[in-house]
Amino acid sequence: MADLIQLLTNGLALGSVYALAAIGFVIVYSATGVVNFAAGQFVMLGTFAGVATLVNAGWPLPVGYAGALALMALFGLLFYAVVYLPLGRSPVVTIIIGTVAIGITLQNAALLTFGSWPFRLPSPVEGMMLEVAGAVIPVHAVAVVVATAVLIGLMWLLLNRTALGIAMRAVAQDAKTARLMGLRVNALLAFTWVLAAVLAGIAGLMLGPMWFADVNMGDPIALKAFAATIIGGFGSLPGAIAGGLFVGLAEVLGASYVSSAYKDLIAFGAMILFLLLRPQGVFGERIQDRG
């Protein structure tokens, strides 16, 4: 029982990180139609933005976090201006291949800057433990789950209760008509990329203390976030959350109860089953076209 509580907490914490990465992936996909294959590298950059401000520059925690997220916001804007905008008139496939190229470039840029030696990113609750029913769980894992829940709540408010969020959804659904309604479509798309980068940055900062900060960490995250979106339903935000949590839990529980060598089998097996049997995922598409 104690083991299970511990595993569930760790699984939910890891799942929260995947969920945030998946949300960043989904908001970009629904707004721009671009499947961002660099999404995993976005999370890696988030971790290393933290390494740069907290470890290398040695800034105090709040300043370091704010600095890292500001760097990520800047990166999102840069990605929009340098990658998405110039490729904007090309077919979507070209942009997607472009994100693959940028992903590889980012990974190697990080390798050149930070080296291949892994870093340890501190947590604000470093070393603190919580005892629940005989189980010892790291406070960091609980904090990650809580912070993710709060962020998801804020995202929901943004998208459903603010003029900015409603405009973002309008652009995602029909950019041409959004232009006709006088929306600043380019600014809204730029903001979407910034938001995706910042969410990935938060995921990276939360993941850093759980894993080692390694420049190759982006690929497994991208694959897990991808599996999460397929299981949850491509383009669906609740789907990204449910899928992310499922993948995180499957990974941690699978490693413990099945075999650590096969820990990814459950998540990717589920993804393949979904692709075969229910390609629209758990939550499917809410929007339909009326004939």
Partner 1 sequence: MLAVEDLTVAYGDIAALHGVSLEVRQGETVALIGANGAGKTTLLQTISGLNAIRGGDIRFAGNSLKRLSCERRVRLGIAQAPEGRRIFPGLTVEENLVVATAAWRRPGGSYADELAFAFDLFPRLKERRRQLGWSLSGGEQQMLAIGRALMARPKLLLLDEPSLGLAPRLAEEVYERVGRIRESGLTILVVEQNTVLALAVADRGYVLETGRVVLAGPAAELKANPRVREAYLGR
Q: Choose between 107 and 236: whose C-beta lies nearer to partner 1.
A: 236
Q: Choose between 91 and 182: whose C-beta lies nearer to partner 1.
A: 182
Tell me the two tokens of residue 265.
Answer: 């089998």
At its nearest, how many Å lie between partner 1 and the CB of residue 34? Answer: 19
Q: Choose between 61 and 187: whose C-beta lies nearer to partner 1.
A: 187
For the CA atoms of 217, 219, 222, 228, the dihedral, rounded to the nearest 10 degrees, stands at: -90
Give residues 149-168 in contact with partner 1 (rule: CB under 8 A).
163, 166-167
- Specify whether the CB–CB gap between 207 and 43 falls below 8 A: yes
Candidates 70, 170, 253, 270; binder of partner 1 (CB under 8 A) is 170
- At 36 the three-state DSSP class reads coil
Instruction: Give the integer Cα–Cα distance in Å for 183 and 128.
Output: 48
At its nearest, how many Å lie between partner 1 and the CB of residue 177? Answer: 4
The stretch among 76-84, 105-113, 170-178, 220-228 that binds partner 1 (CB under 8 A) is 170-178
Site string for partner 1, 268-287 (x = CB under 8 A): ------------------xx
Number of residues that bind partner 1 (CB under 8 A): 22
**Phi and psi torsions of 17, nearest 5°:** -65, -45
Instruction: Give the integer Cα–Cα distance in Å for 185 and 172.
Output: 10
Give residues 102-131 in contact with partner 1 (rule: CB under 8 A).
none
- Specify whether the CB–CB gap between 20 and 207 falls below 8 A: no
- Specify whether the CB–CB gap between 59 and 51 falls below 8 A: no
Note whether 177 binds partner 1 by CB under 8 A.
yes
What is the amino acid identity at position 125? V
At its nearest, how many Å lie between partner 1 and the CB of residue 289? Answer: 7
Q: Which of 13, 1, 7, 14 is nearest to 221 (CA)?
A: 14
Candidates 181, 258, 273, 275; binder of partner 1 (CB under 8 A) is 181
Residues making contact with partner 1 (CB under 8 A): 163, 166-167, 169-170, 173-174, 176-185, 286-290
